[in-house]
Amino acid sequence: MHVHTEYIGTIYSHTLTNIFNTHKHQLSQAEITYFTRSFKLHHRIPIFYGMPKVHKNPMALCPVVSCINSFSSIFSNWLDFKMKDLLFLIPSYIKDSKHLLDKIKTLTLPPNAKLFTADTTAMYSNIDTESGVTAFKNLFDYDTLIPKTSQEHSSSRSLE
């Protein structure tokens, strides 16, 4: 079984390396350096496991694929870095507590209003891949605040 897993990992890493090589002319020198240095590191095969949903009756498992330190995490980290530049386009995005307080100060609320907040993390795994890619492509294609340069469009193409 170990040989089979290594073989799949090799095919996977070759596929991602080919994607990089096809599109690297659209990347900055810093991004090319990031990828080439990251490719040289040791990577593990993603691990599949189940997290028990103890609040369900009967209890069920939530499938999880942990890609930490895997070859695909190189691309995930890069994409996460690139997408952070677009957060200002999301009206509901709040950067930190100070940003929240600044927004609250501009609100006109009735005297009996109550405010609630929630903090979320790790939501990428909850976004349907096709819906996420379509949303980003629409953002790149139709938002007038995003410069229409080949570099920004390379982010859209890399999502595919």
Q: Could you read off the pLDDT of 121-150 as tens digits, one per residue?
A: 665 566 777 887 888 777 777 666 665 554
Which has the minimum average pLDDT: 6-10, 16-20, 49-53, 155-159? 155-159
Alpha-helical (H) ranges within the chain are: 2-23, 29-39, 71-84, 97-105, 129-142, 150-159
Contact (Cβ atoms closer than 8 angstroms) between residue 31 and residue 85: no
H or E element: which one contains 64?
strand 60-66
Pairwise CA distance, residues 42 & 71, whole Å: 8
pTM of the full predicted structure? 0.62
Q: How confident is the model at residue 37 (pLDDT cuts 50, 70, 90)?
A: very high
